[in-house]
Structure formats: structure tokens, C-alpha cells
Amino acid sequence: MLEFVSLMIVIILILASVIKQYVDERKNKEIKENKIDEICNKHYKKIWLVFVVILFVTVIYKFGDIPTYVGVDEAGMAYDALNLAEYGTDRYMNSYPLYLTNFGTGQSSLCAYLVALCIKLFGANMISYRLPTLLIYLMSVIVSYLLISKAKNKKMALSFTFLIITCPWNISNARMALDCNLYAGLFILDLYLLDKAKKNYQFFIAGISIGITLYTYSLSWISLPIFLAVWAICMLYIKRVKFRQVLIMGIPIAIFAFPLIYFLLLNFGVVDQTHLGIFTLPILPSFGAGEVNIMNWFRTGGESLKTIFFGNETIYLIYVPLFIIGYVLEFRQALKEIKKKEYGISTVMVIAFTTLLVGLLLAKIPTPNKANVLYIPILYFVTSAILYISKNSRIILSIFILLIIVLCIDYEHYYYSYRATVAANWFEDIYLMDITEKIESDEEIRDIPKYVMAFTSAPHIYNVIGEQISPEEYMSTITEKIYPDGVRRVTKVGNYNYAYYTSEIKEIDLEKDDYIFIISYIFIDAVDYLQEEGFDSIEYGNYYILTKNKNLNKIFCSSF
């Protein structure tokens, strides 16, 4: 309801702005720098102190504890990072992989290596697992401000920054360790370095940054080259750069890109060598390059656009019409800049958003994660629209600021009270990891056989990261089975066995040995069966922990 009310307010503000600007033009009223510009120029440091408070509340407060769940890809990346930090391999014993296998479909490696460094410095914990994502996000906030402050003015830079730090997508994703989330932050750094580049060595540095960005997310392999090609053609045309400088920038990009190109050739079957020195390029069990197709513009483009602009917890609804207005304004300005052969940030941002979108839509975008790089440019166009609508009107701008604050507070309440604490789904868990850590910390129960029945994707990954077993033990003990429904599932890793149906629990010889059962509350029929067989139970989070051993019950009761 709040979103629709705010949308109506924005429509009224747009109409009021149109009327006001028409009246001002009729009266030949001169538009002067207003009080807002003076405040921004004089007090931008104090405004930044307010931004720091907002950042603390939105992404730093209880960092590592909120969200209270761990995503399955987040857990997989963290376990690989842990192995990289301790053994120099991923969980499949690939030495220093340049691309991770994860659960078979692959995962970009930069986040894992940054997490491995944090584990070396601060130990294996949730803060270490998530810290790189937070730091890259904070860096992107600062760089976004510096980029627009230099190219435009402090009013626009501060407004842009305000929209970034109050955006739902940025708030939620700065707290989770997903490899793709680094793409947005690294890309805005690339834009900043390209904007600053004047001398040859600066273009070389920009090339290094762009090369590293390729390791943030696989869709950057498509979208980033399209951006670079259009950017280079445009900059050469307006004489902003020289061809030699483009070549200099291309050297480090080519060096960083070569292993990834080789990786693609490897998975297409063109080459077969999986090692480049100490580095590994894995052959993925499920290689998804075939999902990229120019026909996706027509097959899934509309659905993908809906996901990008209307997906849950992405941007506020009021930003959609504002984005359209801002994009049209900046596109017109970009055409003027190109026509006059002048360099301007409008040209860069229009090229960035348009080319990235074209590249991303070559693949289906089922979740906003896959399009995360677009959200900072989207907010730039929203900022442009807000300032245009508020031109020479402190009242309209103040209403916009108040409206965004209200929407942000409403989202924060929703995030802290529900989304980050309650709303875990099939791809998220943490209780299983916590239970494993507590069991493995007690020598009396560590070696007792354990059966897990969890309503979560890939439950074994939460056990192995909680247990912190070596990649050698992981590979030597993992067993899988194809079930009648055609799905391959893990049935054992280390000392943990996995059941997926109550019938599997009933097949276990319960008289043979002591067992520990960790059963999701979803499978209450399995819990009832074990209780009927004389098992005592305690509850922890979404799980029942069941055993017949009275000593074990005492240990569990004191631990959970």
C-alpha cells in the first residue's frame, strides 16, 4: 500500500513540476543556484556524516548475524574459501581454481579468494565470509560519489549517494556473500578509473581493474566486452582517448581474460588441459554457456525486464517512472555531448546501462542477482529525474527526500523483522551449520553416526562447513545416489548420512548402534516415528535432534 501511495505522490510532484516550470518560463524567471546547492557545497562533509549513520543502520549493524540464515551458494563459496585458505584447493581438490565448480554449474572465484584472505586474517566465521561483499559495497558508495561530484556537482553526487545507500537491493546484498554481488561495485570502480584516466599508466591501471572485474561474475564475460567496445568507439570518435591508450588498457584485460577464454574452450571440448601452472580450470558437470542466446531478447526479454525493475527488494516502485524520465533526459544530453564531440558523464552512464542491459538480456534473468550491475546506473537516472523535477523548488526536492526516507524506514522494518530473520526458504539455512559446529566441538559425540533429514537445498554443504573437514576427506567420503524422481542427491559426507524420505529412516537398524538424528520440522512424520522407537528429542531452530543415549541428551540440553 505504501508503495502505491508513494507512486501517486510522485505523479502529483511530476505534474506540479511541469506546471511550475511552465509558469516560470512564461514569466521569463531566471533559474539560479538555489539554497540546496549552497547547502551541498558548504556542508557536504556534515551530510556525509548522516550518510555514515545510514550506512551503519542499514548494512553495518549486526553485520555477520543478520541475515540469520546462510544461502546455499554462500555456504558453498565459504567452504571453498576455507579450503583455499587452509589447503590451497577448493573442495574438489582443484589447486587454486580460477573458476569454482561449486554445485556443478560453476561460480566465479574472486569472492572466494577475498574471503580466504579474510579467513587468514580473522578466522573462519560469518563476518569473514561476508566481509568482502560489505567492503566492496562501501567502496562503491564512495567511488560513486567521487565520480559524480567531479563530473556534475555536489548536489547531484550527494543525491545519487543517498539513493544508493537507501536502496533495498544494496541494503540486502551488502550483507550476503554472493559472488555476483561484487560485479556492481567493481564496475563502478572501472567507470571511475576510466573517467580519471588521462595518461598511459592510468589506462593500464583501469585495464587491470576491468580484468579483475571479469572474475566477479560470469555474465560480465558478455556484458563487459559489449560495454568496452561501444565505450572505446565513442571515446575515439569524440577524441577523449587515443587508439594507443585503448591498446594499453587492453593488455591487462587480455591477460586476465585469457584463462577465462581457455576455460570456455575447455568446457566446449576444444582443449583438454585443465591446469595452467598451479591454477586449475575445472570441467563443469553442468556447463551453462548454452543458455546464452541472442533469441533470449525476444523469448525471455520481457520477463527479465520485469524481474529487473519489479523484482522483490530491488528498487522502490516510484523509481520505475523516475528511471524512464531520467534515462530520456540523460540520453538526450548524451546525444548533445557526442554531437559536439564533448566528453560527459551522461554519455558514459547511458552507454554503461544500455550495453550492460543488452548483454545481460542475452541470458534469462530469473532473479535480480543476475542483473545486480544495473542497479547503480538505474539509480543514477532516478537521481537525474528527481533533480530535474525538483529544479528550482526546494519544496518538491524536500518531499522527494522525505518520501525516500519513509520508504527506506519501512523497508528496514520489514528486513529486520522478517526478511533477514524469518523468511529463509529452501535455499537458505544456518541452524544445520550451528548444530554441526556444536556437535563437532564435543569429543564425546563427534564420532557417533549422524543422519540428517533437512528441507533445504544441498544440506551437506552446511554440515561440511560446520565440521570444517578437509577437501581430501570430503572427496573420499562423499557418496551420491540417483533417486526414482531422477534427481542425484548426496547420501553421505564424512560422518553424516542423508535421508530424503521417511521410508529411508525406517530402513535404518535402530538397535545396531547409537545414532544422532537431525530432522527438519517439515518431516514431522519421521520425528514421530523415532519418538515411538524410544528416541528423545530437543528442538533447535527448525530442527529436532533425536537420540536414545541419555548422556547425549544431557550434552544436547546443555549445548542447545
Condensed to tens digits (0 to 9), the pLDDT of residues 156-170 reads: 999 999 999 999 999
- For residue 559, what is its C-alpha cell? 549445548
Whether the pLDDT of residue 23 is over 90: the answer is no
Distance CA 141, CA 184 (A): 11
Tell me the mean pLDDT in the region 407-423.
92
Q: Residues in the chain, how many?
A: 560
- Banded pLDDT at 291 (limits 50, 70, 90): confident
Distance CA 514, CA 508 (A): 11
CA distances from 238 to 225, 323, 328, 393 (A): 20, 27, 21, 35
Backbone angles phi, psi at 490, to 5 degrees: -75, 130
| Of the candidate ranges 69-83, 101-115, 437-451, the one whose mean pLDDT is the lowest | 437-451
Q: Is the peptide bond before 67 cis (omega within 30 degrees of 0)?
A: yes
- For residue 148, what is its C-alpha cell? 559524480
Please state whether beta strands 107-108 and 543-547 pair in parallel, antiparallel, or not at all (unpaired): unpaired
Backbone angles phi, psi at 287, to 5 degrees: -90, 120
Q: Over pLDDT 70: what percentage of the chain?
A: 95
Tell me the mean pLDDT in the region 542-558.
77
The predicted structure's pLDDT at residue 25: 62
- Give start and end residues of each alpha helix (H) in 62-175: 72-87, 110-122, 126-151, 154-165, 168-173
The predicted structure's pLDDT at residue 554: 66
With residue 482 as reference, give the H or E element that holds it. strand 479-482
Whether the pLDDT of residue 18 is over 80: the answer is no
CA distances from 1 to 7, 8, 201, 407 (A): 10, 11, 53, 11
The predicted structure's pLDDT at residue 560: 65
* DSSP letter assigned to residue 60: I
- Banded pLDDT at 551 (limits 50, 70, 90): low
| 401: number of Cβ within 10 Å | 16
The predicted structure's pLDDT at residue 30: 52
| Domain layout of the chain by residue ranges | 2-419, 428-559
Residue located via cell numbers 505504501: 2
- Banded pLDDT at 348 (limits 50, 70, 90): very high
The predicted structure's pLDDT at residue 557: 67
Q: Coil, strand or helix: which one is 365? A: coil
pLDDT tens readout for residues 188-222: 999 999 999 999 999 999 999 999 999 999 999 99
Tell me the mean pLDDT in the region 82-93.
97
Question: Per-residue b/e over 417-443, b at no fewer than 16 CB within 10 Å?
Answer: eebbeeebeeebbbbbbbbbebbbeee
Whether the pLDDT of residue 271 is over 80: the answer is yes
535 vs 380 pLDDT, higher one: 380
Strand-pairing partners, residue 479, are: 492
Tell me the mean pLDDT in the region 529-536.
92
- Please name which of 227, 199, 206, 235 lies closest in space to residue 143, comparing C-alpha atoms: 206
CA-atom Rg of the chain in angstroms? 27
- For residue 284, what is its C-alpha cell? 563443469
Please state whether beta strands 479-482 and 450-453 pair in parallel, antiparallel, or not at all (unpaired): unpaired
Contact between residue 11 and residue 323 where contact means Cβ atoms under 8 Å apart: no
pLDDT tens readout for residues 455-470: 988 999 999 999 999 9
Contact between residue 404 and residue 343 where contact means Cβ atoms under 8 Å apart: no
The predicted structure's pLDDT at residue 422: 84
Distance CA 253, CA 228 (A): 11
Contact between residue 547 and residue 517 where contact means Cβ atoms under 8 Å apart: yes
Strand-pairing partners, residue 364, are: none
Whether the pLDDT of residue 281 is over 90: the answer is yes
pLDDT tens readout for residues 133-148: 999 999 999 999 999 9
CA distances from 207 to 21, 139, 197, 213, 214 (A): 44, 18, 10, 10, 11
Q: How far apart are the first and last CA of the chain?
A: 41
| Of the candidate ranges 27-36, 311-320, 476-485, 548-557, the one whose mean pLDDT is the lowest | 27-36
Contact between residue 115 and residue 79 where contact means Cβ atoms under 8 Å apart: no
| 365: number of Cβ within 10 Å | 23
pLDDT tens readout for residues 293-346: 899 999 999 999 999 999 989 999 999 999 999 999 999 999 999 999 999 999
Whether the pLDDT of residue 32 is over 60: the answer is no
pLDDT tens readout for residues 352-387: 999 999 999 999 999 999 999 999 999 999 999 999
Question: Within 13 A of 433's CA, how many CA atoms are on the CB side?
Answer: 23
Distance CA 115, CA 128 (A): 6
Whether the pLDDT of residue 20 is over 80: the answer is no
